[in-house]
């Protein structure tokens, strides 16, 4: 085998296998603190892509740590290792730490898809609680700044609430009397799902006869 071919093979192997070493590698830094009874991560949410975890064992027994297909060697009390892995999908990724004598601890590291090319968009929202519920001109919108033009077409006072699962992506209109309109602007910094619903007549539980006419999902793409 030539030296070039050998080097290429070693490079492919290194990319395919998650590493647990003391060397720094590119990735979002995350600090993991292990004790005999719990594991904590800082931060708990990261963008999809490479992640570099620094795992510190503050317990009294040797522990291992597994996140997806990435695994550390045994980590002795008072020592630490770094673990490089790739989170390729959004959502929760479970991790587990097991000690020789301590309890098994676990949790999740949440991955999100950041909005790298934000766009401005406007959608029309018609609220008609006593007839058709809430209808939108579109339910798939580009990430970025979204302006909702909300009109109360019903016969009762109503308002609209929009929220995602991260704190800043949410908002609500004032109370709108029949025939009134308002504009609601929200900045979505992540791709994924957001929710909308009536602020005065939220969707009922399906098991009690409620439907989804007064609420639904927005897909942020």
Instruction: Give the pLDDT of residue 18.
Output: 41
Cα Rg, the chain, nearest whole Å: 24
| pLDDT value, residue 41 | 95
pLDDT at site 30: 98
* pLDDT for the residue 101: 74
pLDDT at 167: 78
Q: How far is CA 154 from CA 139, 159, 170, 214, in A?
A: 21, 11, 24, 12
Q: Are 119 and 199 in contact (CB under 8 A)?
A: no
Determine the pLDDT at residue 213. Answer: 61
The CATH architecture of the domain made up of 16-114 is Sandwich (2.60)
Determine the pLDDT at residue 17.
Answer: 35
- Mind listing the pLDDT tens digit of every residue in the chain (221 residues)? 443 333 333 333 333 334 443 334 589 999 999 999 999 999 999 999 999 999 999 999 999 999 999 999 999 999 999 999 999 999 999 999 999 776 899 999 999 999 999 999 999 999 998 788 899 999 999 999 999 999 999 999 999 999 998 878 999 999 999 999 999 999 999 999 999 999 887 765 544 334 456 889 999 99
> Which residues have CB under 8 Å from 172's CB, separation 6+?
159, 160, 161, 162, 184, 199
Is pTM beyond 0.75? Reply is no
pLDDT of residue 166: 84
CB count in 10 Å sphere of residue 49: 14
Domain boundaries, the chain: 16-114, 119-220
What's the CATH code, domain 119-220?
2.60.40.420
């Amino acid at each position: 085998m030539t030296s070039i071919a050998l080097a290429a093979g070693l490079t492919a192997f290194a990319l395919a296998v998650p590493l647990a070493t003391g060397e720094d590698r590119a990735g979002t830094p995350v600090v993991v603190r292990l004790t005999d009874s719990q594991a904590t991560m800082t931060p708990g949410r990261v963008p999809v892509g490479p992640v570099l975890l620094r795992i510190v064992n503050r317990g009294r027994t040797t522990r291992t740590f597994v996140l997806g297909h990435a695994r550390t060697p045994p980590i002795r009390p008072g020592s630490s290792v770094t673990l490089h892995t790739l989170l390729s999908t959004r959502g929760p990724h479970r991790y587990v730490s097991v000690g020789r004598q301590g309890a098994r601890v676990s949790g999740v590291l949440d991955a999100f898809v950041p909005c790298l090319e934000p766009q401005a968009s406007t959608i029309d929202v018609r609220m008609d609680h006593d007839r058709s519920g809430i209808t939108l001109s579109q339910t798939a919108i580009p990430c970025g700044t979204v302006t909702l033009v909300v009109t109360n077409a019903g016969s009762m006072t109503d308002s609209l609430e929009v929220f995602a699962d991260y704190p800043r992506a949410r908002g609500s209109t004032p109370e709108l009397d029949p025939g009134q309109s308002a504009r609601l602007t929200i900045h979505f910094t992540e791709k994924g799902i957001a929710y909308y619903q009536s602020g005065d007549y939220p969707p009922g539980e399906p098991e009690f006869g409620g439907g989804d006419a007064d609420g639904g999902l927005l897909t942020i793409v």
